[in-house]
Amino acid sequence: MTTYDEIFENNRKWIETHNATGPEFLARLAGDQRPDYLYIGCSDSRVTAEELMGVAPGEVFVHRNIANLVNNIDLNAMSVIEYAVQHLGVKHIVVCGHYGCGGVKAAMQAQDLGIMNPWLRNIRDVYRLHHQELDAIEDTTARYDRLVELNVQEQCVNVIKTAVVQQRYLQHGYPTVHGWVFDLKTGLLKDLKLSFEDILHGIQQIYNLGDKSMFDTKETPAQEIGSKAVAE
């Protein structure tokens, strides 16, 4: 394990290494950030965004919490999404879970976990939404792995529900939202290949927060009723 003092020595070595490759590194680092990616991941110490993505400092904006949740009343997560989309102009938003997630496993235990109860209830809600599929999986490990994937999927839906994502996409054609899972055993990232546009289109009738439809100009049932009333 790295000692406390070693961390600062490692920091000095990190500076020396980057200065050796080019003195402009720190100047670029001190400049404005313009990352193309917002990464929303788990706080697990084994899953670090920049390292598993192979990107340099300044290339990804990162938000992490237990079990990579996107809760609409979590001002931290909502502020990160607002800032990344509206002010940094990210092109991609990634929600990344990982197999063997302790938060997902804890959510499925029948025990009182204190202050963690309301947070983990979000994962239990994911189980409730997909319980028929999950209960049909006999192998416990496979069931947990599938819940990890479904949790990522539902958090992506929560991102797509936000006004700033919908409105920015309507105006500029980005950001798009992606769901990934990191496999600790193989080190590989798995793209769940969620269809951003299909999800967005599917939730529009209820969660549309843009000024108009993002896909067509067909009136909603409520608009059709209003139009008939005006005509009459």
User: What are 105-141's pLDDT values in tens digits?
Assistant: 998 888 888 999 999 999 999 999 999 999 999 999 9
Question: Given 5, 28, 34, 46, which residue is catalytic?
Answer: 46
The predicted structure's pLDDT at residue 162: 97
Residue 101 annotated in active site: yes
Question: Given 101, 156, 168, 178, which residue is catalytic?
Answer: 101
The predicted structure's pLDDT at residue 109: 84
Q: What share of the chain is helix, strand, coil (3-state, %, to 5)?
A: 55, 10, 35
Tell me which residues of the chain have a pLDDT lower than 70: 210-232
Question: Given 42, 63, 145, 178, which residue is catalytic?
Answer: 42
Amino acid code (one letter) for 25: F
Question: Given 63, 96, 98, 168, which residue is catalytic?
Answer: 98
Instruction: Please enumerate, as own/partner, the contacts of 60-63 that have beta carbons within 8 Å and a separation of 24 or more.
Output: 60/35, 60/36, 61/33, 61/35, 61/37, 61/88, 61/90, 62/38, 63/38, 63/39
227 Cβ partners below 8 Å, 6+ apart? 219
Answer whether 195's CB lies under 8 Å from 201's CB: no
The predicted structure's pLDDT at residue 231: 39
pLDDT tens track for 179-209: 999 999 999 999 999 999 999 999 988 998 7
Question: Could you give the CA distance from residue 155 to residue 40 in angstroms, rounded to a whole number?
Answer: 9
Q: Which two three-digit tokens encode residue 71?
A: 């809760």
The predicted structure's pLDDT at residue 28: 83
Residue 96 annotated in active site: no
Burial of 34 per CB tally in 10 Å (0-12, 13-18, 19+):
exposed
Q: For the residues of 8-70, what is the DSSP string, one character each? A: HHHHHHHHHHHHHH-THHHHHHHS----SEEEEEE--TT--HHHHHT--TTSEEEEEETT---
The predicted structure's pLDDT at residue 75: 97
